[in-house]
Amino acid sequence: MRILLAAAIALLPTPAFAWGKTGHRVIGAIAERMISHRARNGVRAILGTESIAEASAWPDFERSNPDAFWQKEAGPLHYVTVPAGKTYAEVGAPPEGDAVTALKRFAATVRDRNAPLADRQLALRFIIHIVGDLHQPLHAGNGTDKGGNDVKVIFQREPTNLHAVWDSRLIDQEQLSYTEMANWLNARITRADRAKWRDPNPLTWIGESAAIRDRIYPEAPKSDAGKPDAGKPGEPIKLGFDYIYAWTPTRDLRLEQGGVRLAAYLDWVFARHPAQL
């Protein structure tokens, strides 16, 4: 009976998370090298020996927590919805909230020294996670396909969906540890890059992600004539090495920018007199 139950569970579709563990940790590791001394002390006072990279994937792990917050409230806090041709400023947040409203809420909790330590830890971990989420293009969803989860594809001969490709498969196919990837990407970030990217305003990141999102959808096959491996209309779209080649630079850019922006946002959170975003 247990074997049959396990097999049935294995066949159920699993939710896709932004960047997966590796991508989130890469962003956290890059940010850890760039945060100010004040922010570093602030993070340490709340998380202790837990690194930013270690904290970065925690909210995805907690999705299985039976507590009401995780089962009824936390889901929408990982993404925003920006229909094509619109900006986030035009559409705003839904009644249940989203990643932008969560950042504001959690920033206030982190700054509140009278808040319970457990609440400040949850808030800080979620901030670290959300900044990474908003640099994954499909976490600025268009509102029609669950952030690409409904777009079925074949990637490296395995059935999956477009969201999962951008979450983890584009990263994991490199077969690098998060520290290796973070080291390589961090070495490419110039002083000019840091100065250009160091923007703590989430609306900037969301606008970039939505613009990228509209370009990363693969074209569905119109006909299989003369292309035996192309697939037929309605079938999962096959993504080959040409897709990996075309979008790896963008993947790297969003991870690099995510690290710089996470450092900028943490500096803003722990600033004595934070500017209005």
Residue 12, in any domain of the structure: no
Residue 159, in any domain of the structure: yes
Query: Phi first, then psi: what are they for 17, rounded to 5°?
Result: -115, 150
Residue 275, in any domain of the structure: no
In this structure, how many other beta carbons lie within 10 angstroms of the beta carbon of residue 250?
15
Are 89 and 81 a contacting pair, CB within 8 Å?
A: no
Give residue 220's pLDDT. Answer: 73
Residue 276, in any domain of the structure: no
The DSSP-derived string for 45-62 is HHHTT--HHHHTTHHHHG
Residue 50, in any domain of the structure: yes
200-203 LR contacts (CB < 8 Å, sep 24+): 200/261, 200/264, 200/265, 200/267, 200/268, 200/277, 201/277, 202/99, 202/100, 202/103, 202/131, 202/134, 202/277, 203/87, 203/88, 203/89, 203/100
What is the average per-residue pLDDT within 69-85? 94
Give residue 13's pLDDT. Answer: 36
For residues 81 and 86, give the distance between their C-alpha atoms in angstroms, rounded to a whole number.
10
Residue 3, in any domain of the structure: no
115-121 LR contacts (CB < 8 Å, sep 24+): 117/46, 120/46, 121/46, 121/47
Structure confidence by residue, pLDDT tens digits, 241-259:
999 999 999 999 999 999 9
Angle at 54 between CA 6 and CA 123, to 5 degrees: 95
- pTM for this prediction: 0.89
Beta strands per DSSP E along 36-170: 80-81, 140-141, 152-155, 158-161
Q: Coil, strand, or helix at residue 158?
A: strand
Classify residue 70 by burial, with Cβ atoms within 10 Å: 0-12, 13-18, 19+: middle
Q: Coil, strand, or helix at residue 115?
A: coil
**Amino acid letter, 268:** W
Structure confidence by residue, pLDDT tens digits, 108-142:
999 999 999 999 999 999 999 999 999 999 999 99
Angle at 175 between CA 124 and CA 12, to 5 degrees: 70
Residue 223, in any domain of the structure: yes
Distances (CA, A) of 248 to 41, 225, 253: 34, 29, 9
Evaluate if residue 228 carries a pLDDT over 60. no
Average pLDDT, the chain: 90
Distances (CA, A) of 149 to 30, 69, 146, 174, 206: 28, 23, 5, 22, 19
Domain of 251 in residue numbering reads as 22-63+71-269
Domain harbouring 165, CATH code = 1.10.575.10
pLDDT category at 2 given cuts 50, 70, 90 is very low
Task: Please report the sign of the dihedral spanned by the C-alpha atoms of residue 251, residue 135, residue 45, residue 190.
Answer: positive
pLDDT category at 6 given cuts 50, 70, 90 is very low
- The total domain count for the chain is 1
Give residue 221's pLDDT. Answer: 64
What is the average per-residue pLDDT within 46-57? 97
Are 221 and 227 a contacting pair, CB within 8 Å?
A: yes
For residues 39 and 81, give the distance between their C-alpha atoms in angstroms, rounded to a whole number.
30
Residue 95, in any domain of the structure: yes
